[in-house]
Amino acid sequence: MATTIKDVARKAQVGVGTVSRVINKSPAVSKATRKKVEQAIRDLNYAPNPNARRLSLGKTWHIAVVLPYLTLPSYVERLRGIQEALSNTDYKPILYSVGTPEQRDEYFHSLSHKNHVDGLLAISLSPTQEQAQRFLQNHIPVVLIDARHDQLSHVFVDDVHGGKLATEHLIDLGHERIAYISDYLDYPFQKSAAANRYQGYRQTLQDHSLPYREGYFVQGEQGRENAKTMAKQLLSLEDPPSAIFTSCDTQAIGVLDAAKEIGLKVPGDVSVIGYDGVSESEFVDLTTIAQPLYGSGHIAANMLLHLLASSSPTFKSHQLPVKVIQRGTTGPNHR
Amino acid sequence: MATTIKDVARKAQVGVGTVSRVINKSPAVSKATRKKVEQAIRDLNYAPNPNARRLSLGKTWHIAVVLPYLTLPSYVERLRGIQEALSNTDYKPILYSVGTPEQRDEYFHSLSHKNHVDGLLAISLSPTQEQAQRFLQNHIPVVLIDARHDQLSHVFVDDVHGGKLATEHLIDLGHERIAYISDYLDYPFQKSAAANRYQGYRQTLQDHSLPYREGYFVQGEQGRENAKTMAKQLLSLEDPPSAIFTSCDTQAIGVLDAAKEIGLKVPGDVSVIGYDGVSESEFVDLTTIAQPLYGSGHIAANMLLHLLASSSPTFKSHQLPVKVIQRGTTGPNHR
DNA sequence: ATTCACCGTGGAACCGCTTCCAATCAGGTT
DNA sequence: AACCTGATTGGAAGCGGTTCCACGGTGAAT
């Protein structure tokens, strides 16, 4: 059907080995022969079959990007960073979008076999200890983004610290009744970043001798709508919080929706602080804890490229900073 | 290195053909043998080498998604639609991000060879006539998103109509001095949607006997920052426009930035209408011309799946609607 | 003139799978 | 008992590359 290396060899009157050498820029080809072969390639509009090459070479030039469905802007930002880091190379990213924990396990399992992809980047998703072992044993380079691991390289931020920063920011503004709206702490995909932020929140309350109230902590499914519902519930308490910290910006926006619907002023009646620093946060003038999202993807991809290039892969743990970005949704406590 | 089908065959004491049959669920295997082989597969933790399989089968189970760098939220939304449509299938999307026209051509050229990918989805990017011919000749299914073509299937919206809707909306509000801020009309990637919107704009001005002013039309590089610059230039004219229509929401947000910086009220001093209806538009309460972005990706991916499944690929042209979403950035003309 | 090293080159073997074809075997027919 | 049928099965060939190995030819060294 398609033209093969044999056709080229015949047309150029050389052996297949020689054609292969030309294609792969081997120096062991005379100038004259090279010209002949190149001409034949052009005449036939030949391109090598990548699958044959992959089989023979045992190299795919594919990188699996394993990530949750693109429901959150933070995933997308990270993906952008990956994409741009890869764009200078011959590696192409294949998207493995996971919708359920079963799917995550299926992907991690099959990708841990040799000859599937050359390496993996996982966003906000950790392999189990067993899965990690298989990657290690099979020498498949992996870099985790927004996750920590003691054997797989990763880039991460200190979410406990982030939770602390958010809570302290609110306390500094005079708030004492501070609620936390969160993703499920035992998020089905990995030990959640939300859990660490929660820990920072609890810790900080305690450090400032503020009471922790059961009712001020609610967790639920990700997403703007769910956060809105949770916020309405919180804000209609008999003794509602004067400030709300959410585990991501998307949820914070949901809280803003709720406040608007109830008729509460932000930050007059209630302060809101998010987490992540996605670009949307700027549009709604949201105070937030920012982390380098694009940067995390970019750095992770480069780490993977290094692993791919090096003969002796080395473990690396790369920490990125978090910081408060103060904008218009947090203000002094009036009550 | 890795275990192969031969290892399994040896372990299960059968031939490789039989193992292959078990893997591919061929019915021509006795129950007993099947059990034996399945056990061996499990014992060895065997997974077939996908590259060998692809070579033998001539099928990759890969779909190329060719798209510009993920700079615009509209690309991301479309990608999301693709991803979700593909998530029920065995096909995996490979991202071919294009940063320059040369890169676009390189990708379209190499992907038009058999055995590279099973099919293509292109977002806001058209192949040349010659490239299209090669896809057709080689029977490689392609679906274009946000583009039209007379032989390649595609999903699109009527951007002339969209431009008209936007302009009419402003005219209905009493505006007469209406500017248009645009991507380059001869966008390097394809005949630009912006050009069609421009045409709708011109047309509508004429239909309403309003003069077209040279100075009210500016084009420039994509992006929020550039739009901001262009808007400042426009708004500092001696006789500035009372309303600005932009070729995408991202630019409209840049216009909003400019107005804020200059100290103009929106919509009091100047009305702003965008295009696309990305989720960000809601955050900034932007009036806009909305088109189904997620839907375009979803539908296109399903069209491609049909082409892939059918033995006689058929051309299809799918039009999606546009509509005005009136929000807070447009209001009556006061001057 | 003979030997030797080295450069270019052709082609077989191999990568690991699928599939076709031939062979075996059990059971049913006549 | 001889024959036929259909169900299973083993294994070779083929998919289209890469690479190793052997070989012929050239020019320099002896």
| DSSP character string of B232-256 | HHHHTSSS--SEEEESSHHHHHHHH
Query: Are the beta carbons of A109 and A79 closer than 8 angstroms?
Result: no
Any residues with CB less than 8 A from the CB of A202 and at least 6 apart, and which?
A: A212
B79 touches chain A (CB under 8 A): yes
For A274, phi then psi, to 5°, come to: -100, -160
Kindly indicate the confidence band of residue B312, based on its pLDDT and cuts at 50, 70 and 90.
confident
A1 touches chain B (CB under 8 A): yes
Contacts of B79 in chain A (CB under 8 A): 70
In this predicted structure, what is the pLDDT of residue B306? 97
Chain B closest CA to A202's CA: distance in Å?
A: 31
pTM value is 0.94
Specify the nucleotide whose C1' lies closest to residue B115 (CA): D16
Give B187 CA → D29 C1' in Å: 67
- Nearest by CB: B99 against A70, A79, A87: A87
Chain B closest CA to A80's CA: distance in Å?
A: 6
- Nearest by CB: B1 against A92, A114, A116: A114
Contacts of B284 in chain A (CB under 8 A): 283-284
In this predicted structure, what is the pLDDT of residue B239? 93
B83 touches chain A (CB under 8 A): yes
Give A32 CA → D30 C1' in Å: 33
Of A44, A46, A49, A51, which to mutate for an interface test with B (greatest number of B Cβ within 10 Å)?
A51
B113 touches chain A (CB under 8 A): yes
Q: A15 pLDDT exceeds 90?
A: yes
For strand C, is any atom closer than 7 Å to the CB of B49? yes
Chain A closest CA to B120's CA: distance in Å?
A: 14
Give A142 CA → D20 C1' in Å: 33
Query: Are the beta carbons of A63 and A120 closer than 8 angstroms?
Result: yes
CA–CA gap between residue B172 and residue A1 (Å, rounded) = 60
- Nearest by CB: B54 against A51, A83, A283: A51
Counting residues of chain A whose pLDDT is more than 90, the rounded percentage is: 91
Give B140 CA → D11 C1' in Å: 34
A327 touches chain B (CB under 8 A): no
For strand C, is any atom closer than 7 Å to the CB of B4? yes
Q: A187 pLDDT exceeds 80?
A: no
Give A55 CA → C1 C1' in Å: 51
In this predicted structure, what is the pLDDT of residue A191? 66
Give B31 CA → D7 C1' in Å: 12
In this predicted structure, what is the pLDDT of residue A312? 83
Kindly indicate the confidence band of residue A330, based on its pLDDT and cuts at 50, 70 and 90.
very high
Query: Are the beta carbons of A116 and A125 closer than 8 angstroms?
Result: no
Chain B closest CA to A101's CA: distance in Å?
A: 14
Mean residue pLDDT of chain B comes to: 95
Are B283 and A279 an interchain contact pair (Cβ–Cβ within 8 Å)? Answer: no
CA distances from B78 to A77, B84, B243, B299, B304 (A): 15, 10, 29, 10, 14
CA–CA gap between residue B93 and residue B70 (Å, rounded) = 15
Chain A closest CA to B289's CA: distance in Å?
A: 19
CA–CA gap between residue B80 and residue B64 (Å, rounded) = 14
Size of interface A-B (CB pairs under 8 A): 94
Kindly indicate the confidence band of residue B276, based on its pLDDT and cuts at 50, 70 and 90.
very high
Q: B191 pLDDT exceeds 80?
A: no
Q: Peptide bond before B240: cis, by omega within 30 degrees of 0?
A: no
Report the DSSP beta bridge partners of residue B47.
none
pLDDT digits (tens, 9 = 90+) for A132-142: 999 999 999 99
